Structure 1
């Protein structure tokens, strides 16, 4: 369960430490005091989407920490982030948000990504927001709810695997299908392109070689003059000796003294090494001069080939390698088109088998869904009766459809809110209060199937009042005996039923708005309940009524 929520510089909350308790925790406060900010902070530390606007004005960063206790070592998501609870089963999640958009997330001090934090967080705490009830109006979500309840992930994955194979086969067949005129045009185009590229006799690396040779040919005289000059300096000519000969003469001049003086011997050895290196260099330069064989005809050929490659690149690719790759693709496409009829026949046989596999997997999935639906209907009806909706009928309808990624049937939740009325889609007949209670019932049922230990309800009482509000309060108290419940509420019935009551209060200090969260004792709870009931004017009668409400709630909790 969530033991401690630490918040720094989040919106109007400069700093707050909220120590939640086991059971039912209620948060109340004036509108705009910052109750939703507490929920936003929870969502942030669980890896939810955040905005820079969440950071308190004037602060460079915001920090949220959440400490959970009783965390099992095999909790889903722990292995992926490399974290684990300590020896007492405590797990600390942290998220630091900078004004420049950067996030630093940690699990027990170990850095993790936001996505890893999100995967772990969804198994620790479940937030039911103010508008979640509207999801019931989206019939595309109904099948997902049913699959979650029935734990049909395995059956759904098996179906999606064979459906994916069938969809891939259909895609391949669609790619091969074209009318005869289009087919003939495409074959002509491919043959022309293949012939043009084959006649070009392209070679990998050819373009680079051409550019280098063209530069050499265009500057032939400069190259010959430079290499000839270097050759003359090294090898000499009829009028003067070259560097090799002069070094040889210096070496000979010292040779008869090398055995008499150590320093002269060292100089002679260096001259010998220098002569050998100069000789090798002179030979290399002489060979290079011999390689420079230029002709105007070769330059014309190189220029012509370069122009040909340039024209081809404009049509088939940015480089010779790209053009060769295009040629391979064109050959494959031509082969596929010319053999398309045979390939279509083979794919049609595979598609028939794949369709049978999809039908079989879809039938198994539908069977499993209908079994789960029968149980879910009974569970939802039981929950709704507990929520003072005794006359409501709830049913799950299956309609066969063409196989799709989510199965071969459409799932819809139907209900009848009044006696004698036909079952109809929830979107057409449910009021706001009914939607809130149906969603609460569904959340409670689904929560029993999950590892999550903490349920958060952000104004689950929207559209609910009177007797229905009391039933919602009792239901949350029942749920809190199995899982920790945190509830943001404006209803005194829900706040009174809580085991622990927190007040979110806004004030002003040194010209800045701030929010703090405080746990209330009985006297302050009575004052807060009186405010929730009567507004800003708290009378003795309201205080007495609040006390009676607390007593009744305590008596009910003792029966659980």
Structure 2
């Protein structure tokens, strides 16, 4: 619960330290005294949006700090999951707003993001202001109220998981169908590419180079043949001329007769014999080359055509033959994927049907759960409304099924019949301001039993009510305060007298500046404040006696 609030340089509040009890704390004060500023200060430490305009004129910054104590185990566990340590079950939240527009948030003196402060605030405090009545005026928000009461979180989370899967599959099917026209065109393109390349039966990325080399030889076959023939003739000779091989053989024979006499000639003779063998081998290879140089005209024509075909295919899909082969492989892969996409659509359609059945079943389960909870909800809220002096009001939870959405298949709207015999109609159309306040209080009272939030703040919950209805609101707040800490800003004596801790917000002129102060009232001071609220500034003894009776009656 909020044990203490410290405010410095917030609008007209120069400095204030406010202590709260664990039960019912009421704020009163004249119009314009600064009650809204106090709520703005609490909102600031709860991570809500603030502007530099709330910094007191002439000050560099405004500082608001709240001390929370006796935090429950459920909230402590949630805070621990956020990485927030609460020593002895206490937590300090601080917000600094600079006059230049900057802002600093702190948790236990550690700087944090404002978003974390807001998440923490949602666990600690629930604030009801006049704008919250708009929730009742917005039917699309009624389903959240019912789910909050019903405790539908797990069912909704499970349903939404399946619903998101269904949406994902449906999107994939839609995307595939949108691409159908483009896909058919692309399949045609790929088939042309594949046929074009496959027609040449290319397997070797070096074939173009090999063809070029063979073609070059073929083009120069006559000149090469003449050169090779002349070389062979020089080596082997003919009938009229001795060749080099024969001359070397004669040299060997000349030396061979004297190797026994002169040992140095032996190795030279061996070398000559080796040369003869090598020259004969070369002559044989030249003869083999001559045989190959007998060019086949058909082969020559094929080489030219093949070279031309490879050059053209490289120009289209190259620049290298390896690129052509790579293009073929990639095109075949893409064609396989696109050709199988129709099968994918069929598989996805089957998956969509399965998920649709699953989502529909879960939506039905959720709908039945809500329907059962709605009966209990109506019973409890009706009881609260009767207590709040609205015995004739009949609440109905309108539940219609429609298309599947992220919230299931239900359309929920709260309807009321304000008078006996009238048909229930939408709250937004028939409820007055005072009725809205009491209906919202009834809802808050019922919902408070379902959550772990320790502190409830009501900002002018008494709007549009008076007399006995106001007294009932005060009694209801006092009843809630037995289990939750309640802070209430009010203009009505019937509510203020119910508080255990009465705080006065008053505005004074100090020097040439307006200063707002907040102080706790003792019994005698409460009498005067209650009398002022009931009758204005002209307080009489009778008014004081009435105020004292009201306070005594509550005790």
TM normalised by structure 2 equals 0.71
Deviations 1:306-360 (A, max 9, x none): xxxxxxxxxxxxxxxxxxxxxxx99999876654432221211110001001011
**Structure 1 counterpart of 2:140:** 140
Deviations 1:205-254 (A, max 9, x none): xxxxxxxxxxxxxxxxxxxxxxxxxxxxxxxxxxxxxxxxxxxxxxxxxx
Q: Which runs of 5+ in 2 are unaligned?
A: 195-329
**Structure 1 counterpart of 2:480:** 479
**Structure 2 counterpart of 1:258:** none
**Structure 1 counterpart of 2:494:** 493
Deviations 1:470-516 (A, max 9, x none): 11011111111111111000011001111111110112223221110
User: Where in structure 1 do 4 or more consecutive aligned residues deviate above 3 Å?
Assistant: 178-194, 329-340
Give matches, 1:144-183, under 5 Å.
144-178=144-178
Q: Distance in 1 between matches of 2:336 and 2:405?
A: 32
**Structure 2 counterpart of 1:298:** none
Native 8 Å contact 1:156 1:406 kept in 2 = yes
Q: Is 2:434 aligned against 1:433?
A: yes
CA change 1:332–1:535 in 2 (3 A) is farther
Give the greater-gyration-radius structure (CA).
2
CA change 1:438–1:74 in 2 (3 A) is closer
**Structure 1 counterpart of 2:103:** 103
1:545: how far off? Answer: 2.1
Please, which moves more after superposition, 335-344 or 414-423?
335-344
Q: Distance in 2 between matches of 1:183 and 1:476?
A: 67
**Structure 2 counterpart of 1:53:** 53
Q: Is 2:451 aligned against 1:450?
A: yes
**Structure 2 counterpart of 1:209:** none
**Structure 1 counterpart of 2:44:** 44
Q: Distance in 2 between matches of 1:511 and 1:119?
A: 40
Q: Distance in 2 between matches of 1:193 and 1:133?
A: 68
Q: Secondary structure at the match of 2:16?
A: strand
CA change 1:187–1:488 in 2 (3 A) is farther
Q: Secondary structure at the match of 1:547?
A: helix
Q: Secondary structure at the match of 2:87?
A: coil
CA change 1:338–1:100 in 2 (3 A) is farther
Q: Distance in 1 between matches of 2:332 and 2:490?
A: 69
Root-mean-square deviation over aligned CA pairs: 2.7
**Structure 2 counterpart of 1:7:** 7
Aligned residues: 422
Native 8 Å contact 1:46 1:118 kept in 2 = yes
**Structure 2 counterpart of 1:112:** 112
CA change 1:175–1:423 in 2 (3 A) is same
Native 8 Å contact 2:382 2:395 kept in 1 = yes
CA change 1:378–1:330 in 2 (3 A) is farther
1:186: how far off? Answer: 7.1
**Structure 1 counterpart of 2:272:** none
Q: Which runs of 5+ in 1 are unaligned?
A: 195-328, 555-560
1:527: how far off? Answer: 1.5
Give matches, 1:35-434, under 5 Å.
35-72=35-72, 74-75=74-75, 76-87=77-88, 89-178=89-178, 339-434=340-435
Native 8 Å contact 2:74 2:452 kept in 1 = no
Q: Secondary structure at the match of 1:433?
A: helix
Native 8 Å contact 1:25 1:502 kept in 2 = yes
**Structure 2 counterpart of 1:538:** 539
Deviations 1:252-273 (A, max 9, x none): xxxxxxxxxxxxxxxxxxxxxx
Native 8 Å contact 2:23 2:486 kept in 1 = yes
Q: Distance in 1 between matches of 2:429 and 2:115?
A: 37
CA change 1:121–1:445 in 2 (3 A) is same
Deviations 1:106-157 (A, max 9, x none): 2222332211121112121111112211211111111111111111110000
